[in-house]
A and B are shown apart, each in its own frame.
Chain A
Amino acid sequence: MDPQRLRATIASAQAGSPESYQALLETYGPRLYGYFYRATGRHHDAEDLLSELTLRLVRRLPKYDHRGRFEQWLFRIAANMVRDRIRRLKASPLTVSMSAQDDSGQSLLDRMPDRAAAMVEAGVLAEEASAKLNAALMRLDETTRQMMLLRHFAEMSFKEVAAIFECPLGTVLARVHRGLQTLRRMMGAGDGTD
């Protein structure tokens, strides 16, 4: 959404237009979902957080003072929600293995028609790659992970990230740099910086 249209949409939403609120959700919802998913590692939590954020958006937007930094404001709310949610996460996610065999010696994949199984297997492989990245992200400390994710999903500068986390600018880059190196090692990539 271009800056002018965004400004008009925000003003309209603040005036109470439901369509404008929905327009903001359509524009930022996918990125927010992606951020929530990568931050928590679970689709279940990402869906919950996205739904909860709509409530917070409606509640807080009337008090928002638009100075051209709406995304940063929105993702700051999202980051606080993630922090709260991570503190409450105690149990591991339940997973169903498509390839594990049951007592009869058959797996879920074995029992599916061939074509469906092929589609599911392709989807499973993609999901496994995504899950591998998630697992690598979860191995990072929470602050570093949040900094890296906000850089991408919220398109924040290092300066803006430093303001959110109230830490020196150099510290942010140092953490992001080490995080990238760690991810590269865990994902098995080739040579990189330093």
Chain B
Amino acid sequence: MERTERQYEQMARWLDGETVVVSDELLAVAEGIRRDEQALRTHLDVPVPTAAMDRARRRMSTVLASPAARVRRLFVAAGVVAAAAAVIAAVLLWPSAPDGAPTRTIVQEPQPLVPAEVVVKIYTESATDPALSLLASEIDALEAEMAMAVPQTPVDLEIEVLQRDIDDLLVDETLPVLPEDFRQPS
């Protein structure tokens, strides 16, 4: 039997614990929905694999301990975003020429796309600086858009798996120890 939007709203408010008057018929429906939800909940939970939590813990430790490393990874992984951030940072952080000053085109040595100190400044000071906070948010949004814009092929997925492995290697920040057999004799 079809219910109206209004009837569903009444039942939703009742289920949320609000004081609303519902008919006996709607009350029966709402109680049935509650039972179904409770039955579903007994099956939804899944144990989290130890490896998944360990990986999340390691990732968090690394992020908290090494913000420069985190920023470097973001820079490498999102070259286009970093280039856009450089343009925005240049506009926001460097003073413009005074009005009326003559403009000249000067040929300069190529500069790094994003000086490291600028990127560090963006992410470490964004909590207190509204402009940098906006910039950090824009970088987040651009990253998400980039991730969604490119359709993934099987090769893309393989690259993603490799990138994850690389990230994990960087997170671990350990180097494999050469077994004795492979050490060169002195």
Contacts and interface: CB of A to CB of B under 8 A. Distances in A.
A87 B148 contact: yes
Interface residues of A, number: 59
A180 B33 contact: yes
B5 A91 contact: no
Nearest to A159: B16
B183 interface: no
A54 interface: yes
A190 to B, nearest CB: 10
A133 B64 contact: no
B48 A33 contact: yes
Given A25-B57, A157-B16, A194-B1, A48 B46 contact: no
Interface in A100-153: 129-130, 133, 148-149, 151-153
Given A18-B64, A25-B57, A51-B55, A180 B37 contact: yes
Contact of B59 (A55, A170, A172): A55
Interface residues of B, number: 59
B44 A34 contact: yes
A84 B110 CA distance: 36
A99 interface: no
Which of B35, B37, B133 gathers most chain A CB within 10 Å? B37
Contacts of A172: 12
Contacts of A171: 5, 8
A172 B63 CA distance: 37
A58 B37 CA distance: 33
Interface of B: 1, 3-13, 15-17, 28-29, 32-33, 35-37, 39-41, 43-49, 51-53, 55-57, 59-61, 63-65, 70, 123, 127, 133, 136, 140, 144, 147-148, 151-154, 157, 164
